[in-house]
Amino acid sequence: MHRDISATVTAQLKIDRGGLALSLAAQALWGLSPLFWKLMTAIPAVEILAHRAIWASLILAAFLTLRASWGDVRSAVSDLRTLATLGVTTTLIGLSWSVYIWAVLHDQVLQASLGYYLNPLVTVLLGVVFLREKLSRFQVGSMALAAIGVSLMIWRQGELPWISLVLAASFSLYSLLRKTVQAEAEVGLFVETSLLSPLALLYLLYLARQGQGAFGAQDLGVDLLLIASGLVTALPLFLFTRGARRLPLTTVGILEYLGSTIQLLLAIFVFAEPFTWGHLAAFAFIWAALGLFTWDLRRGRKVGLDG
């Protein structure tokens, strides 16, 4: 019996290490992605978005073929409610991607990282508004700290940090709706990119006819970058979904801060974006909010296990 238990524990630890490695790789790729998008600063964000949707759709189609998962795709699109939900998430992910790419191309990676830091807090707030979930007193405290941080950012800039707020709101709504879809992450993303692709293709054909498109009009390196945008989109998602299945939900949530932190460090130390004491004070409140929020989640999980 003791040997059986030891073998089970050892196997579980191996799975956890593998899941951790996959999740860390996904977050690292997401965090480092500004380095990739920065290589295309001469191309408009909307044009990059169009290529991203088309090439990601093709790459995911190849992946689904290898996995013989077309039955899952048919199941998703044959259900009208699922298809309608994916139609809404397509709009949200298109908005999120376009704003993020624009932010990177216009030296606003700092604001983008703040948006992704805010994402879990906005997701909880949406749960309160739409799902009538109740907040613990510690979660209320974390929301208050986050509100102070955003207020400081507004006071420092003299305007709303719209990039941060749009990214946090669009991706949180996207995450909330995607949780209601009974489909694998890669299946859902394939449907979304496929819904985006016709409009994207029409836009690229229009640009080509006007002699303004980047693909095929510049050097081969630019073409390869635009094609690779599909892989940059699909690969981290594949790693993340595989890793998340093998880790506790709280661990997955904590790891999500890694990508935001990498982007923040890139903004400050690589892209030399301004980071003043005002920024530090605002981020300090956001980090405190996330720390309190994460601690409360872990505390609630332990209480649930003990009970």
Query: Which of the four pLDDT bands, split at 50, 70 and 90, describes residue 6?
Result: very low
In terms of DSSP H, where are the helices of the chain? 2-37, 45-66, 70-78, 80-105, 109-131, 137-157, 162-178, 185-209, 220-244, 249-265, 277-306
Chain-wide mean pLDDT for the chain?
85
**% of the chain beyond a pLDDT of 70:** 89
Q: Is the pLDDT assigned to residue 186 strictly greater than 50?
A: yes
Task: Please report the pLDDT score of residue 203 as a whole number.
Answer: 95
CA nearest 151: which of 114, 182, 126? 114
Question: Given a cut of 70, is residue 305 above it in pLDDT?
Answer: no
CA-nearest of 86, 107, 115, 48 to 185 is 86
Our CA angle for 43, 46, 48, nearest 5°, is: 55
Q: What is the pLDDT of residue 5?
A: 39
How sure is the predictor about 84, in pLDDT bands with cuts at 50, 70 and 90? very high
Distance of CA 187 to the CA centre of its chain: 16
- pTM for the model stands at 0.85
Handedness of CA 17, 18, 21, 27 (dihedral sign): negative
- Tens digit of each residue's pLDDT (9 = 90 or more) over 131-159: 777 777 887 888 888 888 888 887 876 77
pLDDT digits (tens, 9 = 90+) for 203-256: 999 999 988 888 877 788 899 999 999 999 999 988 887 787 777 766 676 777
Buried b (16+ CB within 10 A) or exposed e, 260-287: bebbbebbbeebebeeeeebeebbebbb
| Confidence (pLDDT) at 265 | 94
The crossing angle, in degrees rounded to 10, of helices 45-66 and 80-105 is 130
Q: Does the structure show a pLDDT above 70 at 302?
A: no
Q: Note the pLDDT tens digit of each residue in 91-127.
A: 999 999 999 999 999 999 999 998 888 887 887 778 7
CB 173 within 8 A of CB 62: no
Residue 180 token pair? 């209601």
Residue 250: the pLDDT is 62
* pLDDT, tens digit, 9 for 90 and up, residues 7-41: 433 444 444 678 888 889 999 999 999 999 999 99
Q: What's residue 46's pLDDT?
A: 94
Q: Could you tell me which residue, 118 or 56, shows the higher pLDDT?
A: 56
Q: What is the pLDDT of residue 16?
A: 64
pLDDT, residue 122, reads 83
- The pLDDT value recorded for residue 1 is 45
Query: Tokens 């290589």 correspond to what residue?
Result: 39
Provide the pLDDT for residue 180: 84
pLDDT at 47: 95
Q: Is 142 left (phi over 0), alpha (psi -120 to 50) or beta?
A: alpha
pLDDT given for residue 15 in this prediction: 42
